[in-house]
């Protein structure tokens, strides 16, 4: 990074980079992960039905990313390649979420320190296990730190409200319908708070605030997929708009 010969303290450099990455990530909508009785549910607010935030990596492993699409999609592709190569050279049982989360972390920290700019992404790598208490949720941040989350996770710019909502309402052994309800409510909490911020900053437009009922996510704006706990082989399954509409009524 060019500093034109002036001294920049390492603290300042790291802070600038972190702020740059955070800003990029904050532009995107959040993703939720919720472990439930029969699997793990991943939900994202995503109006596009073709540019996915949630994807399959391997038999029991899924991936979700927020931030800059081109960057997390590049990491998704690398993850699928890593998993398929590992499964081919060893065995399908040897591919695990922890290993993948670690090499993502390595790569992100390498880029954060050495490249021209940090990656504006936040990822989650999840693996469904036979027993709900053993489900693995790894949350990887833009600078390469890894958090091992229990039961649920939220990522994205407004993740704090979403995470708070999940933390206050999560129960073990939810069924899929309740898990979807919990996830969409958490995502809606985020919209509500960001709308609140907007209405505060844009006081020239007070008409918007008269609509006080909490905003609902439309089925078409929701992307959802599950890793099914009790199936064999490739257990990743996207939920169609029809299925989602049924669960949300």
Partner 1 sequence: MSLPLFSPDTDPGPSFLNLLATEQMLDHKLNNTADAKKSVIEIDVPHGTTVVACKWQDGVIMAGDRRATSGNLISHRSMEKVFPADSHSGVAIAGVAGPSIEMVKLFQLQLEHYEKLEDRQLSLEGKANQLSFFMKSNLGAAMQGLVVIPIFAGYDIHAETGRLFNYDVTGGRYEEKEFAAVGSGSLHASTVIKLGHRDDLTRDGATELVLNALFQAADEDTGTGGPDPLRGIYPTIAVITKDGYESLEESEVAQKFSQLSQVV
Q: Which residue, 62 or 137, has its beta carbon nearer to partner 1?
A: 62
Q: Which residue, 127 or 158, has its beta carbon nearer to partner 1?
A: 127
Closest approach, Cβ 104 to partner 1, in A, equals 7
Q: Which residue, 140 or 153, has its beta carbon nearer to partner 1?
A: 140
Q: Which residue, 8 or 51, has its beta carbon nearer to partner 1?
A: 51
Structure tokens at 123: 């990822």
Q: Which residue, 36 or 112, has its beta carbon nearer to partner 1?
A: 112
The set of residues, in sequence order, having a beta carbon less than 8 Å from that of 73 and lying 6+ positions away, is 51, 65
CB-based contact 79:63 (threshold 8 Å): yes
Closest approach, Cβ 142 to partner 1, in A, equals 15
Structure tokens at 49: 């039905």
Closest approach, Cβ 221 to partner 1, in A, equals 19
Closest approach, Cβ 77 to partner 1, in A, equals 6
User: Could you list the residues that contact partner 1 (CB under 8 A)?
Assistant: 50, 52, 55-57, 74-75, 77-82, 84-89, 99, 103-104, 106-107, 234
Closest approach, Cβ 144 to partner 1, in A, equals 12
Distances (CA, A) of 158 to 41, 155, 233: 19, 8, 35
Q: Which residue, 72 or 152, has its beta carbon nearer to partner 1?
A: 72
DSSP H/E element including 112: helix 97-114
Please give the Cα distance from 123 to 65 (Å, whole number). 4
Question: How many other CB atoms are found less than 10 A from the CB of residue 218?
Answer: 12
DSSP H/E element including 139: strand 136-140
Residue that has been written with the tokens 């034109």 in this structure? 4
Closest approach, Cβ 19 to partner 1, in A, equals 25
């Amino acid at each position: 990074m060019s500093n034109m010969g002036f001294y920049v303290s390492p603290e300042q450099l790291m802070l600038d980079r972190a702020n740059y990455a955070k800003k990029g990530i904050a532009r995107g909508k959040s993703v939720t992960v919720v472990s439930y009785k029969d699997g793990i549910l991943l939900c994202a607010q995503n109006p596009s039905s073709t540019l996915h935030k949630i994807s399959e990596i391997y038999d029991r492993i899924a991936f979700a990313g927020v931030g800059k699409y081109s960057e997390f999609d590049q990491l998704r592709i690398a993850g699928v390649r890593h998993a398929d190569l590992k499964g081919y050279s060893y065995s399908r049982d040897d591919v695990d979420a922890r290993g993948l989360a670690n090499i993502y972390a390595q790569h992100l920290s390498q880029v954060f320190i050495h490249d021209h700019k940090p990656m504006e992404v936040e990822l989650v790598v999840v693996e469904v296990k036979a027993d709900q208490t053993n489900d693995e949720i790894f949350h990887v941040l833009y600078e390469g730190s890894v958090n091992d989350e229990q039961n649920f996770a939220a990522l994205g710019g407004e993740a704090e409200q979403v995470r708070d909502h999940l933390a206050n309402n999560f129960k073990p052994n939810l069924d899929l319908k309740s898990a979807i309800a919990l996830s969409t409510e958490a995502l809606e909490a985020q919209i509500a708070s960001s709308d609140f911020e907007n209405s505060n900053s844009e006081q020239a437009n007070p008409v918007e605030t008269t609509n006080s009922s909490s905003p609902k996510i439309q089925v078409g704006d929701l992307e959802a997929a599950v890793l099914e706990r009790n199936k064999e082989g490739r257990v990743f399954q996207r939920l169609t708009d029809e299925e989602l509409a049924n669960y949300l009524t």
